[in-house]
A and B are shown apart, each in its own frame.
Chain A
Amino acid sequence: MVEFFQQMINGISLGSIYALIALGYTMVYGIIRLINFAHGDIYMVGAFIGFFATTVLKLPFFPAFLMAMAGCAVLGMIIERIAYKPLRHAPTITLLITAIGVSFLLEYGMIWAMTPQPRAYPNLLPTYQFNFSGLIVSVQQLFILVVALVLMVLLHVLVQYTKAGKAMRAVSYDKEAAALMGINVDSVISYTFALGSALAGAAGLLVGVYYNRIDPLMGIMPGLKAFVAAVLGGIGIVPGAMVGGLLMGVAEALVSAFLSSTYRDAVAFAILIIILLIKPAGLLGKKTQEKV
């Protein structure tokens, strides 16, 4: 029983990272109907920005954290401006392929710049562990959980209660009608990319701290899993991404503990297949028909 709860805790802290990445997928999808496959690589860049902030600039955790978020926000906006904006009226598949191209560019650009060698992440947080009668919770896990929760609450407030959030929801509903309400659609899209990418950057740094190891291709697998998480919760739905991310993390932890860790990656895709078969709109999604 202790083992089960232990795995739940591990799963939730991993899952909150997936949730942070999944939020970016889902927000971008919600607003321009694009699965931004470069999103996992933005997360990787966030981890590297954090790495440089702490090793080269010798910054402590929080400044480094903010820098990773800000750096990724800018990167997300630049990618949108250069790669996606010119394709605003192109077919979806063109955008999708462009996103894969951007993904490769970031991955191999980073390998070119940094070599493919994994790097050891500095220890930014205390490594102390709490022991609750056999249940071990590390400070890092708590930290990840708290930071992820705070970010998610902030995002929720932003989307639900601010003018910018309302503009985002209006744009995701009907771009043209939103423009005719005086909303600058281009800047709302840009803002959405900035937000989503900042969350990915935060996740990147947290993972670096958690696993102590980063490399230029580290974004591929978490990127795909976060995508599955977004689909699981219902793509385009912000709370869905949070729920999906947590479920994915827990499923992965439980499977690797009680079945075999060989299946830890497979479980993500099994979930994807099952959800597409049973409830393609996702757990929180409503059945909709694509408008023609």
Chain B
Amino acid sequence: MALLSTESLSMTFGGLRAVSNLSLQLEMNDLQGLIGPNGAGKTTVFNMLSGMIKPTTGKVIFDGEDITNLPAHQITQRGMARTFQNIRLFGSLTVLENVKIAFHRHVTYSFMQALLQLNIAHHEENITRSAMDLLDVLGLADRAHHQANNLSYGEQRLVEIARAMATQPKLLLLDEPAAGMNPHETEQLMNLIGKIRRDFDLSVLLIEHDMNLVMGICERITVLDYGMTIAEGSPEQVRANPRVIEAYLGEEVV
């Protein structure tokens, strides 16, 4: 059974069809790419999947459950996490605090417990340790106590990934994770995405402009243009598809 599937998902903003009739299929452990020219509707797809906006029509099925109309926090609690194209860290908090906040989903507390803070020290210790472990995996351990705003762009992107990972997702949505990174950082990121997928046993859906990154690590690619799916398949198939070349890649790339 597919981990994530969408059924004729559409989003209309006024007269503009940002996404029309999208049907995505993502299996357990897939690493899939979603590409397309600027304005093709990629981020809108992410916004619909993660519950930030409600689709005009269509359905999102995640892990066998219709999550189309669930609020964003409940979708996160069911195991879908995302990062943002324009970084949205809690900038005035430290890197560690950013990650710890995301561990919320594993710690259920009642109003009274929060008020009285029963065994707060124990909880805090556990969360801090798990958060530090995650930062370690992403090579950010030495940045843990820096204010998130003060990190480099590339590092902030990694913190976003760490924060998303802290919700312990089954599916990770990455919105242009390599934007603003230099080729060296991009390469490290490719390795990292592969590594966390293996180590944490999760699926990844990736929006990316960096062709090397997408073609290098994705097993399947969906290409959007003006909100329509114009191609789907392996990197080789997509690369060879004339509609993709016309709409997106441009002749010089091929």
User: Which residues from chain A sit less than 8 Å from chain B, CB to CB?
Assistant: 157-158, 161-164, 166-167, 169-170, 173-174, 176-186, 191
> Shortest CB–CB separation between residue B202 and chain A, in angstroms?
16
Query: In the complex, A178→B120 CA distance in Å?
Result: 21
Within 8 A of A (CB), among B68-95: 71-73, 76-77, 81-82, 84, 88-93
Binds A, one of B106-114, B133-141, B214-222, B244-252: B106-114
Query: In the complex, A183→B82 CA distance in Å?
Result: 14
Total contacting residues, chain B, CB less than 8 A: 36
* Contact, CB under 8 Å: B120 / A173: no
Partner of A180, one of B52, B91, B92, B109: B52
> Shortest CB–CB separation between residue B56 and chain A, in angstroms?
17
* Contact, CB under 8 Å: A173 / B114: no
* Contact, CB under 8 Å: B114 / A166: no
Question: Interface readout for B108-142 with A: 1 if CB under 8 Å, 0 if not?
Answer: 01010011010010011000000000000000000
Query: In the complex, A164→B107 CA distance in Å?
Result: 11
Task: Return chain A residues, CB-CB under 8 Å to B73.
Answer: 179-185
14 of the cross-chain contacts (CB-CB < 8 Å) are A162-B120, A164-B114, A167-B101, A170-B93, A173-B93, A177-B89, A179-B76, A180-B164, A181-B76, A181-B102, A181-B104, A182-B77, A182-B102, A182-B105
Given A166-B101, A173-B93 in contact, is the A180-B76 Cβ separation under 8 Å? Answer: yes
Query: In the complex, A204→B111 CA distance in Å?
Result: 24
Query: In the complex, A139→B102 CA distance in Å?
Result: 46
Given A174-B88, A176-B88 in contact, is the A182-B104 Cβ separation under 8 Å? Answer: yes
Task: Return chain B residues, CB-CB under 8 Å to A179.
Answer: 51-52, 71-73, 76
**Interface on chain A toward B: helix, strand, loop, or mixed SS?**
helix
Partner of A181, one of B92, B123, B163: B163
Closest chain B residue, CB of each to CB of A170: B101
User: Which residues from chain B sit less than 8 Å from chain A, CB to CB?
Assistant: 50-52, 71-73, 76-77, 81-82, 84, 88-93, 97, 100-102, 104-105, 107, 109, 111, 114-115, 117, 120, 123-124, 163-164, 166-167
Task: Return chain B residues, CB-CB under 8 Å to A177.
Answer: 84, 88-90
Task: Return chain B residues, CB-CB under 8 Å to A185.
Answer: 73
Task: Return chain B residues, CB-CB under 8 Å to A161.
Answer: 117, 120, 124
Task: Return chain A residues, CB-CB under 8 Å to B104.
Answer: 163, 166-167, 181-183
Query: In the complex, A182→B92 CA distance in Å?
Result: 20
> Shortest CB–CB separation between residue B158 and chain A, in angstroms?
16
Closest chain B residue, CB of each to CB of A177: B88
Closest chain A residue, CB of each to CB of B168: A182
Task: Return chain A residues, CB-CB under 8 Å to B114.
Answer: 158, 162-164, 191
> Shortest CB–CB separation between residue B90 and chain A, in angstroms?
4
Task: Return chain A residues, CB-CB under 8 Å to B72.
Answer: 176, 179-180
Closest chain B residue, CB of each to CB of A173: B90
Task: Return chain A residues, CB-CB under 8 Å to B111.
Answer: 191
Task: Return chain A residues, CB-CB under 8 Å to B109.
Answer: 163-164
Most buried by B among A158, A176, A186: A176
Task: Return chain A residues, CB-CB under 8 Å to B81.
Answer: 180
> Shortest CB–CB separation between residue B248 and chain A, in angstroms?
28
Query: In the complex, A170→B76 CA distance in Å?
Result: 15
